[in-house]
Amino acid sequence: MVDVSFELRKFVSPEFIIGVDARKLAGRYAKNLGASHVFLVTGNNLIRAGWVRDVIESLDSEGIRHTLFADITPNPRDFEVMNGAKLYKEAGCDAVVALGGGSPLDCAKGIGIVASNDQHILEFEGVDNVIIPAPPLICIPTTAGSAADVSQFAIITDTARKVKIAIISKKIVPDISLIDPVPLTSLTAELTAHTGMDALVHSIEAYVSNASSPVTDIQALESIRLISAYLPLAYHNPDNIGYRYKTMLGSLLAGLAFSNASLGAVHAMAHSLGGLSDLPHGECNALLLESVIDFNFEVCPQRYETIAGAMNIDCQSHQESQIKQMLLHALQKLRVELGITERLGDLGVTRENLSDLAKSAMKDPCLATNPRKPTLSDLEKIYEKAL
């Protein structure tokens, strides 16, 4: 890769607070942002777990009213965003608080920009297509995965085309993120695995991205070290706050890295899968990662060797081909330990789907920063290897 260490670079990130019980600061920061009636976007599982109650009590303590919106599915749909924006306006809200994983957080971002711009959510697809900033937004992530709470990305499903669209704009960077490891203790083992692998892919793709920089490199590599070491521990010891904190820190750093360096073919292809088949995003990433690295490796072997080192793989005195196999083996071993053993074919993907999947992935903005430019045929072959 060309040394771009001295090029001018721009970075975006929200204010964030990380630590135990950060979620309970929602009322204080909503008040600081001048809110009087917040639109609280979340999921029904989080209501049942009690985490939403904590946020409502924090808002109540500051005399801030709220309207609750929980009609969201995984891989949030365009019509869910539009329904939320309609309710936001009808209720007379002036700020948004989002509590959840990537789905509620992305939906909340969409609701905000629809409410402020009076446009359909699909009109914001692509890069820098949001004109009017969203209302104040506070995000409280409940997974160590999506990092939607610190990124300038939102992913929404276009239900008519059956594709996921990416909205990328600094105008959807939250005003503040309250990063609390405690809600992670209610995650299922499956969600811990899927969201953790999503975070690992964020950091790997950011590090090999053709838009990487010395700043994002530091963030990505530390994220890889944290997640590869602590995700298995959190998976096997779900109530350990220390392990959960480390995975949350890893997800935060991965989010800061990819928000500014973007992603690559794994995410472009996973978005296509999620749009067509509504499959779990993190699982799709995990199942595609090894095949994409096999495709990319030859154009940036030193970068992947550094990633292997961050995963505590001893690369000394080994040839490039051996290092690739050692990295792929370590990622496979991690995936299997986390219970992600199915292949795309097991999830209902067929050879007949490959052409449409590849065509959709080719249009995804994440593909622009993949270190190796793939053809349509290349993407079909990568999907086929993961079947």
Chosen domain end from 184, 207, 237: 184
- Asked whether residue 1 is domain-assigned, the answer is no
Residue 72 DSSP class:
-
Rounded CA gap, 115 and 120, in Å?
9
Look up the CATH number of the domain holding residue 236. Answer: 1.20.1090.10
- Asked whether residue 26 is domain-assigned, the answer is yes
- Asked whether residue 3 is domain-assigned, the answer is no
Helix, strand, coil percent content, the chain, rounded in steps of 5: 60, 10, 30
If asked whether residues 153 and 302 sit together in one domain, one would say: no
Separation in Å, CA 325 to CA 207, 291, 368: 19, 12, 26
pTM score: 0.95
- Asked whether residue 10 is domain-assigned, the answer is no
If asked whether residues 258 and 276 sit together in one domain, one would say: yes
pLDDT tens sequence for the chain (387 residues):
445 567 888 899 999 999 999 999 999 999 999 999 999 999 999 999 999 999 999 999 999 999 999 999 988 999 999 999 999 999 999 999 999 999 999 999 999 999 999 999 999 999 999 999 999 999 999 999 999 999 999 999 999 998 899 999 999 999 999 999 999 999 999 999 999 999 999 999 999 999 999 999 999 999 999 999 999 999 999 999 999 999 999 999 999 999 999 999 999 999 999 888 888 999 999 999 999 999 999 999 999 999 999 999 998 878 999 999 999 999 999 999 999 999 999 999 999 999 999 999 999 999 999 999 999 999 999 999 999
If asked whether residues 179 and 288 sit together in one domain, one would say: no
- State residue 5's pLDDT score: 62
Q: How far does CA 220 lie from the centroid of its chain?
A: 14
Number of domains in the chain: 2
The dihedrals phi and psi of 52, each to the nearest 5 degrees, come to -70, -40
Q: Sheet containing 126-127: which strands, arranged edge to edge? A: 126-127, 163-168, 153-158
- State residue 324's pLDDT score: 96
Nearest to 184 by CA among 134, 135, 128, 231: 231
If asked whether residues 215 and 326 sit together in one domain, one would say: yes
Separation in Å, CA 339 to CA 73, 192, 205, 235, 336: 23, 10, 22, 10, 5
- State residue 369's pLDDT score: 97
Contact by Cβ (8 Å): 91, 35: no
Q: DSSP of 289-322, one letter per residue?
A: HHHHHHHHGGG-HHHHHHHHHHTT---TT--HHH
Look up the CATH number of the domain holding residue 73. Answer: 3.40.50.1970
Range of the domain at 48: 15-184
Q: How far does CA 352 lie from the centroid of its chain?
A: 28
- State residue 316's pLDDT score: 84
- Asked whether residue 286 is domain-assigned, the answer is yes
Residue 172: CB partners within 8 Å, gap ≥ 6?
109, 112, 113, 130, 134, 137, 152, 153, 154
Rounded CA gap, 73 and 83, in Å?
13
- State residue 99's pLDDT score: 98
- State residue 4's pLDDT score: 55
- State residue 276's pLDDT score: 83
